[in-house]
Amino acid sequence: MIGKGYRLAATTPLQGGPAHVAIIMDGNGRWAQSRGRPRLFGHQAGAKRVREIVNACPELGIRYLTIFAFSTENWKRTQAEVSGLMTLFRRYITKEAQALLKEGVRVRFIGDRDQLEPKLVKLMDELETLTAGNDRVHLTIALNYGGRDEVARAVKRLAHEVAAGQLDPEDVDAETLAKFLDTCVLPDPDLVIRTSGEARISNFLLWQSAYAEYEFSPILWPDFTAEEFGKIVEKFSGRERRFGAVPV
């Protein structure tokens, strides 16, 4: 069972299903405001939804799940919301660590850690180490992540290698640059989902999504169930992907 009352027709992973799904979890604020509650209440509800979606992955044949938790632009929110979110991330890691370990989830974080508070970075490092032996689902949490920022940081590291004489500029191609990205050990996403009805990519996995399929769901993230997730994944499985080629 993926969620309440929902079972996929196939018990084996979907044929042609996405191996890597990335999600922009949008709509927490509106979900809370429509209930007359503070925005942070929506983020808390959103955090609860994460477990259900992670747990749905194995049955859907999804090996890699990447979720957008905090963008490099989210610092522009009020100080109260930003600090509430940072507290939520710390609590989430502390509370969920053992369950993630038991469920076979390997957790990684992408994004710039330098601007994050040290106590949060310590918990992130510990969770990565704790789950490093897991291989059932690879959960990547994008925290203080921006696609442009990631490419800029990658280029900076690459330039240092060139300056140090370790890399010949003539050898630099797309594959070389990808090795310097935060996502260097991950496959590119096959499917990117954004909830809440907004049809924007908001600086998420810009490089990696070159050939991804996009799905925009009208549902606000705290209401986004495993059942809904399963429907979108099944729809993807019926699509023909050409990667720029002509069908033969």
Q: Which residue's CB is nearer to ligand FPP, number 144 or number 154?
A: 144
Is residue 137 a contact residue for ligand FPP (CB under 6 A)?
no
Residues 176-205 that bind ligand FPP (CB under 6 A): 196
Residue positions annotated with a catalytic role:
26, 74
Using the rule CB under 6 A, which residue among 2, 14, 40, 69 binds ligand FPP? 69
In the complex, the smallest distance separating the C-beta of residue 8 from ligand FPP, rounded to whole angstroms, is: 25
Using the rule CB under 6 A, which residue among 17, 18, 29, 84 binds ligand FPP? 29
Residues 88-127 that bind ligand FPP (CB under 6 A): 88-89, 92
221 is in an annotated binding site: no
Q: Which residue's CB is nearer to ligand FPP, number 54 or number 181?
A: 54
CB of 109 closer than 8 Å to CB of 69: no
By C-alpha distance, which of 201, 191, 93, 90 is closest to 145? Answer: 201
Q: Of the listed pieces 45-53, 108-116, 209-217, 227-235, which binds ligand FPP according to CB under 6 A?
A: 45-53
Using the rule CB under 6 A, which residue among 6, 10, 19, 30 binds ligand FPP? 30
**Residues binding ligand FPP (CB under 6 A):** 25-30, 39, 43, 46-47, 50, 67, 69, 74, 88-89, 92, 141, 196, 221
Residues annotated in a binding site for Mg(2+): 26, 213
